[in-house]
Structure 1
Amino acid sequence: MPPYFTWFRKGIEATRHEIAIFNHCIENTVRAWKAENPSGSIVGVLGFSQGAIASTLLLWEQQAGLIPWLPDLEFGILICSGYSEAMKTCMRDLDDNQREGQTLTIRLPTLHLYGRQDVFGAPSSKKMFATHFVEDRARLESFDGGHELPRDKDDLEKIRDFAVTDHKIVRVRCI
């Protein structure tokens, strides 16, 4: 319940600073993971709520070539995503191309899930999907639940299937 906090505050400089801190933490985590798992690969992102906003940012930054240290991600799974106008404004400001709409959309395959009983998150998830993702490469699904991770076996199988095989089919179809 209230008060609600956000990872991205309004104001370009504040948001840029928060993104720089976030990227530094993720970069350190990626380097540490690679050192401990030299034969493993990081192939996707999974984010919940504010973490789904952060995952959206990572996918976009990778696509824009802003974070060369991040392994080439193949997909994203975003659950009960929030939406951040501050993040969108900062993305627009960071983007050199300034082709409104086109450069703020992510072309990697993504699965978006939202709880049908999530009165705040469902609209945010739909807005994030419509604003930042290419529709023929992204899939929007709902599950029976609120602002939570899905627990139903069928919903979990959707997530697994997307991570294991479906994202590859979407990627091949769209190339």
Structure 2
Amino acid sequence: MAGDSVSRGHTPAPTGEKLDAPRILCLHGGGVTGEIFRMQARSLIRDLPDFRLVFADGPFFCDAGPGIVPVFQDFGPFRRWLRWLPEHPEIDDDAAIEEVMYSINTAKKEDQGTGPWVGLMGFSQGAKLSASLLYDQQIRMEKEGKADTDYKFAVLLAGRSPLVSFCEYSKSPACVSAGAISEGFHYEGESPHVLRLPTLHVHGLNDGGLHLHRKMLKQYHDPKTSTVIEWDGTHRVPIKKVDVEPIVEWIYKTAGEQGVKV
């Protein structure tokens, strides 16, 4: 079955002509690819000309995600970052972290841009991953005074609870481990792991997972540094101007507040 192997595949081309523009790392959902996410995010790309968006490919092969076929059936093999189905092969946490970070670092290394990596943008499983990577940066800074990244913000398009643990500091009943199945994870009560770096939560009001997106926001994000945009959509990336404009405005505003030069 497709889920039995790890991919060392081609990383899709970035967007944005300016090589020195600040860069946003873009992480696709489960059962798609970086190239598909680039097409799904075409309206956001168009309205973010001062940023360079770089789309990474997840490390693991899997079957197509919900709603991907037939529109994108010729764009496989499809990929994932995390396990969400029992048939996804078991993997230990350290190996899962290594594969995810290898894929991300490969995308960064292969990009010809020279601008700083200032943000993350993810859809669905990629949003969960984006929040988790931003939190990992935060907790490493808190515990060690240093981190390998300096992301200023994350845009979470339909990101489900919970956060994923990427180091020993976040190993907790409140976080799912990197090698575990993330769907069906339940943690009730107040999480000791709260992300305080700026995040934008984009929630489709007709999305079947909306309650899990709201749970992610409520349990794992500081209300002082999180912003919510609700739109009249299902589980997909917004493409209409009326839905995209508030997202773009938040990115420009937050980047400026965080000292990003655009």
User: Corresponding residue for 1:24?
Assistant: 102
Pick the structure with more strand per residue.
Answer: 2
- For structure 2, list consecutive stretches of 5 or more residues without a partner in the other structure: 1-65, 68-79, 173-189
Q: What is the total number of aligned residue pairs between the two structures?
A: 157
Pick the structure with more helix per residue.
Answer: 1
State the Cα deviation string for residues 82-140 of structure 1 (Å, max 9, x = none). 2247x2xx46x721798x834x1111111001111112x21111111112211110012
User: Corresponding residue for 1:110?
Assistant: 199
Counterpart CA distance in 1 for 2:226 and 2:199 is 5
User: Corresponding residue for 1:157?
Assistant: 245
- Secondary structure in 2 matching 1:155: helix
Larger Rg: 2
Say yes or no: does 1:68 pair with 2:147: yes
User: Corresponding residue for 2:43?
Assistant: none
2:81, 2:100 within 8 Å by CA — same for their partners in 1? no
Query: Which one-letter code corresponds to 1:117 in the other structure?
Result: N
User: Corresponding residue for 1:101?
Assistant: 191
How much has 1:52 moved relative to structure 2? 0.4
Counterpart CA distance in 2 for 1:65 and 1:8 is 24
CA RMSD of aligned residues (A): 3.1
Deviating 4+ runs (over 4 angstroms)? none
How much has 1:75 moved relative to structure 2? 0.7
1:116, 1:146 within 8 Å by CA — same for their partners in 2? yes
Say yes or no: does 1:57 pair with 2:124: no
Counterpart CA distance in 1 for 2:110 and 2:123 is 22
State the Cα deviation string for residues 34-72 of structure 1 (Å, max 9, x = none). xx222x1221100000000110111011112289333x1
How much has 1:19 moved relative to structure 2? 2.3
How much has 1:17 moved relative to structure 2? 2.7
How much has 1:152 moved relative to structure 2? 2.6
Counterpart CA distance in 1 for 2:197 and 2:159 is 17
After superposing the two structures, state which structure 1 stretch, 105-114 or 21-30, moved more.
21-30
How much has 1:81 moved relative to structure 2? 1.1
**Cα distance, 1:97–1:16 mapped onto 2, change above 3 Å:** closer
- For structure 1, list consecutive stretches of 5 or more residues without a partner in the other structure: none
Query: Which one-letter code corresponds to 2:253 in the other structure?
Result: T
TM-score after normalising by structure 1: 0.75
How much has 1:14 moved relative to structure 2? 3.0
TM-score after normalising by structure 2: 0.52
2:153, 2:254 within 8 Å by CA — same for their partners in 1? no
- Secondary structure in 1 matching 2:100: helix
User: Corresponding residue for 2:212?
Assistant: 124
Query: Which one-letter code corresponds to 2:147 in the other structure?
Result: P
Say yes or no: does 1:83 pair with 2:172: no
